[in-house]
Homo-oligomer: A and B are copies of this chain.
Amino acid sequence: MQFLALSGSLRRDSINSAVLRAAKRLAPDTIDVQLCSVLGELPLFNPDQLDNPGEAVRRLWYAVAQADALIFASPEYAHGVTGTIKNALDWLVSFEPFAFKPVAVINTSPRARHADAALRETLTTMAAHLVEPASVSLPLLGAHLDEDAMVSSAEWAPAIRSMLLALSEGVEQAVGSDPECAFQGL
């Protein structure tokens, strides 16, 4: 099973990027976590360029299409989502393979509720399948842990592994329920 991990921060020492790198290392053999490295290279979204969006957008689209599920971890800037994560989503709004994709939204700063709520609202509007048991709060902000410390932490490593397993269960259930067939039945 392949998960694509998207961090909403381009900061080198971002706690959100660190938790996604930790997830890659903590994943069981049955799950491959790929870190999406293209978000910082995307052009700003322009609907006029959807037919010819350039190499970076095509790489994003390919990675999303290939993934069984997506994991989002993104900070809050000024009570809002980051421009970086919303710009990536803007390029995915009309990208058909995104619909019904199982997604997990990790909140590393549970006191920051505006961005988490806004990100969930946008993902739901885009017809993503939000896997709630995998969309967890991991209050890492202020814990002063880097990726290595998360991987070796008796507290956080199991929490991150549980998130991955919950997402894989969400993927299995989504495949079982086959939303496209459900829509045809309406």
CB-contact partner of A122 in B78, B89, B126, under 8 A: B78
A82 and B90 CA atoms in complex are apart in Å by 7
Interface centre among A80, A85, A93 (most CB of B within 10 A): A80
Given contacts A80-B81, A80-B86, A118-B118, 4 further A-B contacts (CB under 8 A): A10-B44, A40-B44, A45-B83, A81-B81
CB-contact partner of A45 in B48, B79, B84, under 8 A: B84
Do the beta carbons of A118 and B10 come within 8 Å of each other? no
A42 within 8 A of B: yes
Instruction: List CB contacts (< 8 Å) of A50-97 with chain B.
Output: 77-90, 93
- Give the number of residues in A that approach B within 8 Å (Cβ atoms): 33
A80 and B81 CA atoms in complex are apart in Å by 9
Known contacts: A114-B121, A118-B118, A121-B114. The answer to whether A44 contacts B77 by CB under 8 A is: no
A185 within 8 A of B: no
CB-contact partner of A83 in B11, B12, B78, B90, under 8 A: B90
Do the beta carbons of A86 and B82 come within 8 Å of each other? yes
Residue of B nearest to A114 (CB): B121
Contacts of A125 in B (CB 8 A): 78-80
* A–B pairs, 27, beta carbons within 8 Å: A10-B44, A10-B46, A10-B47, A10-B48, A11-B48, A39-B44, A40-B44, A42-B44, A44-B84, A44-B87, A77-B89, A78-B89, A78-B90, A78-B93, A78-B122, A79-B122, A80-B81, A80-B89, A80-B118, A80-B121, A80-B122, A82-B90, A83-B86, A83-B88, A83-B90, A87-B87, A114-B121
